[in-house]
Amino acid sequence: MSAERQIPAKQPKASASTPPMLGNEEMLLAYVEQLTDARKGQRAMIVHLSRLQGAKPRDKNLQIVAAVLREVTDQFSGRLFVLENGDIVVVCKGITRRAIDETIEVLRYLFNDDPVTRAGTEQADFCAVFDLEVGYIDFLFALDEIREAARRSSSAAGQRRRFDPAAIDPAHAGALFKALQRVELASMLRRQTVWEMARETAPRALFEEIFVSMDRLQKAIGPTFDFAKDRHLFLYVRRWLDQHVMATVARHQSNVSLRLGFSLGLAALLSPEFDDFDKRGAVGPERIVLEMPLAELLRAPSTFRQVADRLKQRGYRLCIDDVGHQALPYVNLRPLAPDYVKVVWDDALLHLGEEPLREFCEAVTAAGSERIILSRCGRRQAIRVGHAMGIRLFQGWQINQANR
């Protein structure tokens, strides 16, 4: 019997006129999202039943797990969610660390014959605890990694894999970190200009983006750590690269004539390192364009909005990065008031049907032609297509070379 059957979510019965209930994952994300403005005192715990390596958990033990965790949620005004992979998430307000540790000890005892829970193993392998006031983003990453691991397990069942990134243990993390330390990142830094290319005027450079060539980094590290395909590894490497890019920009931003753009994830923007970067900047924030990926807006909308508002108040220019042409008409970016929106070039733009083309052009007009950047343009044809759609800002290697 599965964990879902033993620990059912408390949901009302649906009638014929009742819309379908959200799954537990969706309910959890919706619940956590509404905590973004009231996270003080909130702690979350993920019980990784899916990581147990021994025999299938006994039904009696699962019933005890349910009783223990429901007692915790009742005592501390909490909520319990059972994920699709059998892991359990508890979110409580006002729970003490002592109460959490006592709960974990009970759970570890129930499965003390399993290698994951034996003394000497990392507690986080079985139970991970997050203080949502300061570790909210780490909690979101953990949930994202669980979903991604489940997706990979489903799509790659029966296939041999070089490296399993479902959880980066200390040994793997250390090996990856050593591999990164051997890389000469300075040789992998790239610069690419965003150009205004209106029909009637000469091209004008707006700002220069600095970034690390992920293809070259992957080749330098080798195939063991394939972060190009595994999101978990990419997020791990992304955090490390964000720190490197911030350090590089801090050293060289006084030597650039254009505004300087670079992409940072939410974790980096909420880090002490970014606060240091902000305080010690040799050039004012008005000379910097911070590019924030759309994926992180969709993952944590409230936190994203809070961070974006704070950055704009400090004077930074804001660019929403990596927006697919299909997403532009359906994502409401107006509340963020971004200075720029980067739409990724896709050859499909050459063959849009009448209705998708109309919706896309209307979205460009609504956002403002002075804000939409058509990026990753690998062909001159992209300029002609972009102009026809009302776009006048472009970025890409061929465009960059042509305008030098």
The Cα 72–Cα 66 span in angstroms is 10
Quote the tokens at residue 309: 């508002």
Say if residue 36 is exposed, middle or buried (CB neighbours under 10 Å; 0-12, 13-18, 19+).
middle
Give all strands (DSSP E) within 69-184, no chain letters.
Answer: 79-82, 88-93, 127-131
Question: What residue ranges of the chain are covered by domains with CATH 3.30.70?
Answer: 3-155
- The pLDDT assigned to 23 comes to 47
The Cα 101–Cα 43 span in angstroms is 12
Quote the tokens at residue 44: 């979350």
Alpha helices in 182-211 (DSSP H): none
Question: Which architecture characterizes domain 3-155 according to CATH?
Answer: 2-Layer Sandwich (3.30)
The Cα 247–Cα 214 span in angstroms is 18
- The pLDDT assigned to 256 comes to 62
Asked whether the whole model's pTM tops 0.75, one would answer: no
The Cα 2–Cα 261 span in angstroms is 49
CA-CA-CA-CA dihedral for 341, 344, 347, 349, to nearest 10: -20
Buried b (16+ CB within 10 A) or exposed e, 214-244: beebbebbeeebbbeebbbbbbbbbeebbeb
Among the listed residues 208, 211, 205, the one whose alpha carbon sits nearest the alpha carbon of residue 190: 211
- The pLDDT assigned to 401 comes to 64
Question: What residue ranges of the chain are covered by domains with CATH 3.20.20.450?
Answer: 172-402
Residues 255, 285 contacting (CB under 8 angstroms): no
pLDDT one digit per residue (tens) for the chain, 404 residues: 333 333 333 333 333 332 233 346 667 777 776 776 577 888 999 998 888 876 555 555 677 787 788 888 888 888 888 887 788 899 998 888 888 888 888 888 777 777 777 654 445 578 889 988 888 877 877 887 777 666 666 554 433 333 333 344 445 556 777 777 788 888 888 889 999 998 778 889 999 998 888 888 888 887 777 776 666 567 667 777 888 888 888 876 656 678 889 999 888 888 878 888 888 776 678 889 999 988 888 777 777 888 899 999 999 999 999 888 888 887 888 888 999 999 999 888 888 888 889 989 999 999 888 899 999 998 778 888 999 999 999 998 767 766 66
Say if residue 1 is exposed, middle or buried (CB neighbours under 10 Å; 0-12, 13-18, 19+).
exposed
- The pLDDT assigned to 16 comes to 32
The Cα 320–Cα 63 span in angstroms is 46
The CATH number of the domain covering residues in 172-402: 3.20.20.450
Side-chain half-sphere CA neighbours of 324 within 13 A: 7
Dihedral sign from CA coordinates of 99, 101, 106, 110: positive
Give all strands (DSSP E) within 156-256, no chain letters.
Answer: 189-196, 204-212
Buried b (16+ CB within 10 A) or exposed e, 126-140: bbbbbbbeebbbbbb
207, β-bridge pairs: 194, 259
* Strand (E) or helix (H) holding 293: strand 288-293
Alpha carbon 301 to its chain centroid, in Å, reads 11
- How many beta carbons lie within 10 A of that of residue 115, not counting itself? 12
- How many beta carbons lie within 10 A of that of residue 47, not counting itself? 24
Sheet holding 42-47, edge to edge: 79-82, 88-93, 42-47, 127-131
- How many beta carbons lie within 10 A of that of residue 184, not counting itself? 7
The Cα 393–Cα 313 span in angstroms is 25
Percent helix, strand, coil in the chain, to 5, is: 50, 15, 35
Please name the residues in contact with 231: beta carbons below 8 A apart, sequence gap of 6 or more: 144, 145, 148
- How many beta carbons lie within 10 A of that of residue 325, not counting itself? 20
Report the chain's terminal Cα–Cα distance, integer Å. Answer: 65
Residues 220, 243 contacting (CB under 8 angstroms): no
Query: Backbone phi, then psi, for 190, in 5-degree steps?
Result: -125, 150
Please name the residues in contact with 314: beta carbons below 8 A apart, sequence gap of 6 or more: 278, 285
